[in-house]
A and B are shown apart, each in its own frame.
Chain A
């Protein structure tokens, strides 16, 4: 099984900050990596697919990069609505999610 490890598991940030979340795969997954945002009480939302492609309707302050085993999600100029938990998900083999990163208000 391919294990996905996210870091940090949580972070505190302020509106306007730049936030970077890392996701590491236990083996190479090329660019079979997606990122989701999950706000409490809401359905998870696809942000980035194939490591770096922005899903339609997602603000351009979100960006993804990486390939192989290491990936990052960056949020430029954090907004109030961005406080949420973020998950990576690989689809190189059967889909699997990372442990999540909770972005909280400082």
Chain B
């Protein structure tokens, strides 16, 4: 069974850095095709994709946030850490991590380029306020 859990501070001051950790089980971040993505949802708004790290340490970031984001993985501890620098109140949101893997259709076709988030954590709410 795949599970993911986010952890981090509930309150961060403006201009500080935010570190959110995703601790997962049920899969290995060394298996080809596997990735861990980060998505956030500000209160009352839609989901926003932030970043994705793959088994081979390839990293992708939202173009609008790329300069502020860093991703690190510790495959031995089954953890991925998202760091966001210089936060402001607009970064207040629930932060989710999610599992990505290759997809296989009902016809048995393996899809290697599609990115879907198969299993999500419960999310952690982060408020940015002084």
Contact = CB atoms under 8 A, between A and B. Distances in A.
Contact of B47 (A44, A53, A94): A44
A44 B98 CA distance: 9
A84 interface: no
Interface string B3-44: 000000000000000000000000000000000010100000
B119 to A, nearest CB: 8
Nearest to B120: A43
Interface in A92-106: 94-100
Interface stretch (B71-79, B84-92, B103-111): B103-111
A53 B106 contact: yes
Nearest to A87: B47
A91 B116 contact: yes
Contacts of A46: 116-119
A7 to B, nearest CB: 14
Given A91-B115, A94-B60, A45 B46 contact: no
Interface string A43-61: 1111001100111000000
Contact of B63 (A53, A94, A98): A94
B49 A95 contact: yes
Given A32-B114, A53-B103, A54-B106, A44 B120 contact: yes
A34 interface: yes
B48 interface: yes
Interface in A30-73: 32, 34, 36, 38, 42-46, 49-50, 53-55
- In the A-B complex, the 7 residue pairs with the smallest Cβ-Cβ separation, listed nearest first, are A91-B115, A43-B120, A95-B49, A97-B47, A49-B116, A34-B116, A53-B105
Interface of B: 37, 39, 46-49, 52, 60, 62-63, 96, 98, 103, 105-106, 111, 113-123
